[in-house]
Structure 1
Amino acid sequence: MNESAHRRISILVVEDDPGDLGLIQVNVRLAGIRRIGDRDPVVWAPTLAKGVVAATASKPDVILLDLSLPDSTGLETVEAMRAVAPEVPIIVLTGQDNHRLAEEALQAGAQDYLVKGQFQHDALGRAIRHALVRQRLESRLSLFRAALNSVANGILITDIHSTIEWANPAFTRMTGFSLAESVGRHPGEMLNSGKQDQQFYQRMWETILAGRVWTGELINRRKDGSLFAEALTISPVTDSNGRIQHFVAIKQDISERKANEERVQHLAHHDQLTDLPNRSLLSDRLFQALAQARRDRGIVALMFIDLDRFKPVNDTLGHDIGDLLLKEVAFRLQACVPRDSDTVSRFGGDEFVILLAQIEKATDAVVVAGKLLAALDRPFLIGPHHISLSGSIGIAVYPQHGEDVNQLLKNADIAMYHAKTAGRNCYRFFREVTEVTEG
């Protein structure tokens, strides 16, 4: 008993010759295909038009389709039936001299073909069984294809030499390269940004050629030349003997996530008003500068600046004008310390701290202090207001005035208060106890 005998299958026969229909019905019974309740498993339609109606109404499991009907012949018959029943397997029925037409029908979407007058029940049962299996496989493949084409992540399939064999639409949206442009090429030659060194790719290849999954992040280049951050997973695909045959790469554009992470990091370490490094970032940079100075026996200077007469501006002109004034102060202070190794930070309120890393001698800070005082002494034009300010600057130098972050900050702050008591608009170096020397 074959597999068909264990199933109740409805068969639509689109055949204009009653004699051929009778032979088909006999072979269906001999193949063990059961009735569906009190209904015959075979539904007959003598023309394509009636077959289209029957296919829509009865929803058959299989269609036996004659390619020579009174109202349609050849491939048009297959195409018309596929249009109304795209998920139903079609077995075409041909005459003895129509093998070429039958093969063309297979290319047009038919599952199999039988030559009328040359098949018996076992051939018919086998053709129906195989057609149903192939249709299920094709439906599953269509589902997989639709799923791969609809996912948001880019997917590449390459051979073992990294030659692209297939790419989904998300890959095209991500990179700008179409499927036609990608097949036959290597991802490296298309997307390489030069941001990863040779060791990066060597470690990747060592992993996947060993049969393991590789996961990482990298910077790639789109077709238009723009860069994007990518999370990449590459999985080896092996045959039944464990030999690697293909690689599947899943690519996710993480540029927006990376940009958000950078914005969060920036906000965590910068003053929101002036965009200068905040106290946390200053402390980190001072710690690193001191570590470098210890190794090189270098000198580091810390300058604590407090604005003179800033509070009356806030009290009389309002906080909005005060905020604009602080922004302009920050701009002028930055212009006085152009070295990349130096840091201008807002410490809080109207207090700023400047880190001078890797100076040659302590008196180098005097030159910078003079520039800072001159910059603050020039009137500020904020809207319709001409505002005059000045600054009091305290200077502490490593290693004379402290050897760690907290000690240097504390002593620079003390020196700033001595500058205040000395009449403001000046600088003072830290001296132990209360001795203060003007620079």
Structure 2
Amino acid sequence: MIIPTIHILLIEDNEADAILVESDLQQAMGEQMTVTHVERLSSAIELIHKKSFDLILSDLTLPDSDGITTIKQLREHAVSTPIAVLSFRDDEKLAIKAIKAGAQDYLVKGSLTEGVLARVIRYSIERQRIEESNRRAQKRFQTIFEKSPLGIALVNLHTGRYYDVNPKYASIVGRRVDELIDISHADIIHPDDLQSYHDDIESFLNSGRVDCKIEKRILHQDISVFWIKISIVRFEAIASNEICYLCMIEDITERKQMIENLHQLAAHLQDIREEERTRIGREIHDVLGGTLTVLKMDLDWLSKKITAEPMHERIKLLYQLTGEAIETARRVSVNLRPNVLDNLGLLGAIEWLVRELEQRTKIDCTLESTISNLSCHNKSYETAIFRIIQEVFINITRHSNATEVDVELVEDEDDFVITIKDNGVGITKLQILNPQSFGIISMNERTQQFGGEFEISGIASQGSVVMLRIPLALVTCAEEAIDG
């Protein structure tokens, strides 16, 4: 392996000292080294700008410079080159001043040996290389920090104070960098989201997790409202003896608006679908059902008038089939438009669904409720809740192989909660997350329509649990324990 030559600049105005140092250097480093000797600081500076050196050895007292000023001027012109001081004074205070001024080492001329020189040269050069590598890494980090398309800030989450903020962060929150340094991280959060923000941060700090993601609204100084996604990571950097957290923010206002538009579109399509179902259900009930009923009455009349076989038996069969058609039309009409909602109200409609499931499938069903009356302020919400429960029962019938279903209606502090449990095969997480599970997707969409929460879970061979949470602000409940 070829060992690179070390180029040393020696600044020494005493010829005898210079010869002695060069001799010691030669013995210490041999052919690995070249020495360029000058007597004046000005000559050294001129050389520094013409070629690069791996190490500068300099006396403090020169014809055109004296003391610590020599080191300061050298450091100004040789920013990244290690400097070692040569001095006849064994002075600790002077050595400290020289180090603070930019020197890597302080050598006393009378105590130089081959080993000391070799060690100083290698250590100084290696230390400088490490420092230069650190400087480059810091510069890269600073460039990434300044140019990042994400808003980045160093924050003490315990106090909320900013330590550093990049331009993108300031741009997203609508403030100047210097303004952010003077305020708290919570000061940018929308007042309506402030309590949930504090709760989320406290939960994160107490959890021991290394990162978290939250979405909040922020308030610009011009009163405009934006949505941001905040990603927080525990950061090992220390500022003012306090641990920082790396906060990265992203403007998700447009994404939120798109999601809201999709929800509104889904709700609108749901309303259109319900209106169409109502129209078709009414047509089936009023027109088709009425026609079939008249036909059945006429067949009954005919069966009494025509007693001869086999015509009488044929009429009886048609009478029976017409009755079955009427029942099918009634069932289809009810499924298309749940008139039980209009006739019985939401609570009565839920009870009807439970009884209908039990009668149709012979599954043992129980309903427990702590309320005697339930209604939504918005009728479309009642329809959405009815459809969700209806969809759950359809899935139980098709997929669960359950023999028992328990339905519980309770009111807690903030929500009205509907819980449906079965003892079937149990839904898997893979099935829940399957993008082709359109029934679950539909139930989620309906729940979002009224700002509720829909949860589904299951354990293999132990059944599934569906929980529907409806904000109390949307419903009217009258408490009275009933079992059915």
With structure 1 as the length reference, what TM-score do the two structures score? 0.50
Could you list the per-position Cα deviations for residues 135-164 of structure 1 after superposition, in whole angstroms to 9, with x for gaps in the alignment? 233223322332333232444445684565
Paired with 2:274 and 2:345, the residues of 1 have a C-alpha distance of 14
Q: Quick check: 1:10 aligned with 2:7?
A: yes
Gaps in structure 1 of 5+ consecutive residues: 1-5, 240-244, 270-276, 299-340, 343-354, 359-439
Contact 2:215 2:229 in 1 (8 A): yes
Task: Please identify, of 170-179 and 103-112, the stretch whose mean Cα deviation from structure 2 is larger.
Answer: 170-179
Q: In the alignment, is residue 284 of structure 1 matched against residue 270 of structure 2?
A: yes
In the alignment, residue 258 of structure 1 is paired with which amino acid?
T
1:273 maps to what in 2?
Answer: none
1:194 is matched with which residue?
191
Contact 1:45 1:51 in 2 (8 A): yes
Q: Deviations over 1:160-190 (max 9, x none)?
A: 845657314334555536469738x7533x4
When residues 211 and 261 of structure 1 are mapped into structure 2, their CA distance, relative to the original with a 3 A threshold, is: closer
Give the 3 Å change call, closer, same or farther, for CA 86–21 of structure 1 in structure 2: same
Matched, 1:55 2:48: yes
* Matched ranges for 1:244-323 at <5 A: 246-254=243-251, 257-259=252-254, 262=257, 266=261, 282-285=268-271, 294=341, 297=345
How far residue 61 of structure 1 moved from its aligned partner, in angstroms, is 0.9
Deviation of 1:23 (Å): 2.9
Asked if 1 retains the 8 angstrom alpha-carbon contact of 2:215 and 2:227, the reply is yes
How far apart, CA to CA, are the structure 2 residues paired with 1:225 and 1:138? 47
Q: Is the 8 A contact 2:59 2:87 kept in 1?
A: yes
1:147 aligns to 2:140 (yes or no): yes
Describe the shift of the 1:238–1:263 C-alpha distance in structure 2 as closer, same or farther (beyond 3 A).
Answer: closer
Which residues of 2 match residues 120-269 of structure 1 at below 5 A? 120-151=113-144, 152=148, 153-158=150-155, 161=158, 164=161, 166-170=163-167, 171-172=169-170, 174-175=172-173, 176=175, 178=177, 182=181, 187-188=185-186, 190-196=187-193, 198-207=195-204, 209=206, 210-221=208-219, 227-237=225-235, 246-254=243-251, 257-259=252-254, 262=257, 266=261
After superposition, the C-alpha distances for 1:303-359 in whole angstroms (9 at most, x for unaligned) are xxxxxxxxxxxxxxxxxxxxxxxxxxxxxxxxxxxxxx99xxxxxxxxxxxx9999x
Q: 1:77: which partner in 2?
A: 70
Instruction: State the alpha-carbon separation in 2 of the partners of residues 123 and 180 from structure 1.
Output: 53
Q: Is there any run of 5+ residues in structure 2 with no aligned partner, and where?
A: 276-336, 347-376, 383-484
CA deviation profile, 1:33-91 (whole Å, cap 9, x unmatched): 2424xxx5222121112212322333111111222221223444334323332221122
Deviation of the 1:284 alpha carbon:
3.3
Closer, same or farther: CA 20–159 of 1 in aligned 2, 3 Å: farther
| Aligned residues of 2:58 and 2:83 also touching (Cα < 8 A) | yes
Cα deviation per residue 1:349-375 (whole Å; 9 max; x = unaligned)? xxxxxx9999xxxxxxxxxxxxxxxxx
* Alpha-carbon contact 2:152-2:249 (below 8 Å) kept: no
CA distance in 2, matches of 1:110, 1:226: 54
Q: Secondary structure at the match of 1:44?
A: strand
Contact 1:47 1:69 in 2 (8 A): yes
Matched residues, percent identical? Answer: 21
Q: Give the distance between the partners of 1:223 and 1:113, measured in 2 at CA.
A: 55
Q: Matches of 1:221 and 1:119 in 2, distance apart? A: 67
Residues 158 and 283 of structure 1, relative CA distance in 2, 3 Å threshold: closer
Is the partner of 2:243 in helix, strand or coil?
Answer: strand
Q: Are the counterparts in 1 of residues 235 and 244 from structure 2 also a CA contact under 8 Å?
A: yes
Q: 1:214 to 1:263 in 2, by over 3 A?
A: closer
- Offset of residue 251 of structure 1: 1.5
Assess, with a 3 A threshold, how the Cα gap between structure 1 residues 155 and 136 changes in structure 2: closer, same or farther: farther
Contact 2:271 2:380 in 1 (8 A): no
Aligned equivalents of 1:223, 1:117: Cα separation in 2: 68
- TM-score, with normalisation over the residues of structure 2? 0.46
**How much is the aligned-residue C-alpha RMSD, in angstroms?**
4.3
